[in-house]
């Protein structure tokens, strides 16, 4: 299947951090045709292996399957759902969003509500309504009614946004962080139909809660090199200073030089930059101070694993909907596959 089609399937699937099963099943199905072996480990990371020749480096490619979302915390006696956030999100993006409560039985359509602005006091209207003052309305009449609808404490809640292809090269949808990376992971493995080194394509869990799956998966896989496929925010919207980021959507994959958890190993950066230049792939360099990726955790696993990140520029990450360039996705996969092919020249 095409990269765009896979992105659509992955974006529309739900995998709020800690509840990645729907995405995991999809990943198994989509990775299977290109893998020699596929397993789901004990924490439910997906590991697809393409076996290489003996005595060649082993590379772990990681894309996280989870997305930021909400989780039911309490059910009020009037049938409203109070919630916690699963992953980092600005409280300002939550109010009035359409969401889906993912119960064991069904997906319940819902909206994030608040006390009506009409009756808020002057000073209340000026401040951000914190998430603990918001609630999810499923149209239940009471706590008993909500329970009868199948809701229980701990149920995940995902944003209700459908993928749509729009503009010349862009798509709008939810959870591009990191389903875009998942789609690139599949495409990379597809393009690596012949490779000398062993490639482990891993869909990781709970990245948004602290890079958790990447740590245990990297320990198990024990690769020589780690490469995270993730997204990064962009500065190509009004009000962003060049100092804060120069990354733009549609200008190619961004290579992380530093982020809050990683200074990329110089050899990794050289390997990726050389591959891009030699193949005429436009790329961007990124030095962010906020946010990190699975690469940070992989690099500190066991006795240390040189790791880096190919980041796909995506607008409005960690919010209900974002934009991404399909061309950037294609170039990210191309870069990852070409880099893996020549890994022996570097490691
Ligand atoms: Zn991410």
pLDDT at 121: 79
At 201-221, the pLDDT tens digits run 999 999 999 999 999 999 999
Residues in Cβ contact with 312 at an 8 Å cutoff, skipping those fewer than 6 apart: 176, 180, 181, 184, 229, 230, 231, 232, 253, 254, 324, 328, 329, 332
pLDDT at 54: 86
Distance 344 CA to ligand 1 centre (A): 28
> Which position among 8, 207, 208, 286 bears the catalytic label?
207
Distance 81 CA to ligand 1 centre (A): 27
Domain annotation for the chain: domains and CATH numbers = 3-67+174-345 (3.40.630.10), 69-159 (2.40.30.40)
Tokens matching residue 53:
């020749």
pTM: 0.96
Question: What residues in the chain have per-residue pLDDT under 50?
Answer: none
H or E segment to which residue 179 belongs:
helix 176-191
pLDDT at 115: 80
pLDDT at 211: 93
Distance 116 CA to ligand 1 centre (A): 34
State yes or no: is 44 an active-site residue: no
Distance 290 CA to ligand 1 centre (A): 12
């Amino acid at each position: 299947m095409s990269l765009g089609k896979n992105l659509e399937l992955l974006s529309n699937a739900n995998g709020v951090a800690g509840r990645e099963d729907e995405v995991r099943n999809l990943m198994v199905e989509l990775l299977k045709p290109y893998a020699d072996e596929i397993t789901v480990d004990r924490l439910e990371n997906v590991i697809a292996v393409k076996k290489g020749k003996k005595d060649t480096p082993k590379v772990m490619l990681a894309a996280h399957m989870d997305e930021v979302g909400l989780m039911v915390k309490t059910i009020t006696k009037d049938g409203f759902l109070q919630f916690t956030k699963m992953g980092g999100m600005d409280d300002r993006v939550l109010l009035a969003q359409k969401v889906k409560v993912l119960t064991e039985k069904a997906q319940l359509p819902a909206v994030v509500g608040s006390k009506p602005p009409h009756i808020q006091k002057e000073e209340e209207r000026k401040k951000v309504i914190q998430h603990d003052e918001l609630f999810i309305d499923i149209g239940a009449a009471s706590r008993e009614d909500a329970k009868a609808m199948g809701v229980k404490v701990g149920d995940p809640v995902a944003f209700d946004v459908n993928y749509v292809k729009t503009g010349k090269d862009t798509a709008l949808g939810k959870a591009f962080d990191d389903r875009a990376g998942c789609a690139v992971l599949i495409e990379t493995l597809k393009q690596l139909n012949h490779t000398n080194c062993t490639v482990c394509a891993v869909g990781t869990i709970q990245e948004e809660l602290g890079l958790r799956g990447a740590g245990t998966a990297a320990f198990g896989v024990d690769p020589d090199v780690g490469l995270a496929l993730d997204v990064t925010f962009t500065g190509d919207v009004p009000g962003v200073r060049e100092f804060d980021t120069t990354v733009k959507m549609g200008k190619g994959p961004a290579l992380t030089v530093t982020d809050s958890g990683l200074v990329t190993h110089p050899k990794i950066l050289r390997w990726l930059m050389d591959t891009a230049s030699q193949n005429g792939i436009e790329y961007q360099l990124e030095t962010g101070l906020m946010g990190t990726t699975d690469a940070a955790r992989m690099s500190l696993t066991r006795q240390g694993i040189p790791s880096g990140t190919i980041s796909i520029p995506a607008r409005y990450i960690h919010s209900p909907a974002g934009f991404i360039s399909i061309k950037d996705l294609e170039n990210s996969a191309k870069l990852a596959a070409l880099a893996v092919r020549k890994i022996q020249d570097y490691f």
